[in-house]
Amino acid sequence: MPKRCYGLEGGVALVTGSSQGIGRDIALQLAAEGVAVAVNGRRPEMVDQVVTQVRALGARALAVPATVSDQGQVHAMVGAVLSEFGQLDYLVNCAGISRPNRFIDMTEQAWDEQINTNLKGAFLCGQAAARHMLTRGKGAIVNLCSIAAFAGQEGRAAYVSSKTGLLGLTKVMAQELSGHGIRVNAVSPGLTGTEMIASNIPAAFRDGVALERTPIGRLAHPSEVAEVVLFLLSEGASFVTGESILVDGGLLSGYFYARSAAGNSFTQPQPRERAMQDLGNSTLPPGGG
């Protein structure tokens, strides 16, 4: 796990949903930066595995298995972090679930489960963490949103609604907390190589979007999302709050883009071809003069 020197060393972070997927990579990258990490998830055995990995990187770690949609469990979790480490500097709300189904067929239970975990959970954890951060006059919170909040996704009515709501919650939290030294931002990943994507999205859709519609032409690596999260937690983002950074390989920029049609929408030469033409027309001597 490479260290980027974000200046976070000595801080304490709670990362919800960090027993797998993007959350796990965020926890491990924080550990590599010298941050003490509280690892959360619903399955204690998976939480313990990540705690072991965090400690192997030389960082302090605490297992805090809990259901983030339960206020009592959230308060106990934050209390355990404060009891163990004495402070809480960073919160990353990464806990999330997806139960795909057509809107017309979705059950109320499936709707409630996704809204409660993805949106209510971030509200409860953010509120509990912010109350402590307010006493210290500093802190940073990052909510893991999704490109689904910007474009919608067939078969994911509850998931999209929860992430759209989370984007709005991020903005309100930022407005209310930033004047007290607590910045709040969101990261909105595109298709990322996680367990959720592997189990919920058919390969034909995954490849059609990632390879055909995404200019970079692949899924994101969880570590690439983690790097953006750490930047937003760091002082390098000291004047960034209430924002959502897309980590989507250019997907949402590409309304007119399809890999199979690249270079055919207009008659201008492709960038590499243009560079070669310019080089050929250069009057500079070999070696650049």
List the catalytic residues. Answer: 159
DSSP strands (E only) in 121-198: 139-144, 182-189
Q: Is 156 helix (H, G, I), strand (E, B) or coil?
A: strand
Bridge partner residues of 155 (DSSP): none
> E strand or H helix at 62, and its extent?
strand 61-63
Give one DSSP letter per residue of 90-109, joined into a string.
Answer: EEEE-------B-GGG--HH
Amino acid, single-letter form, for residue 16: T
**Cβ count within 10 A of residue 205:** 14
**What is the 8-class DSSP label of residue 132?**
H
**Which are the contacts of 129, defined by CB distance < 8 A and separation ≥ 6?**
14, 78, 88, 91, 139, 141
Contact present, 250 and 215 (Cβ < 8 Å): yes
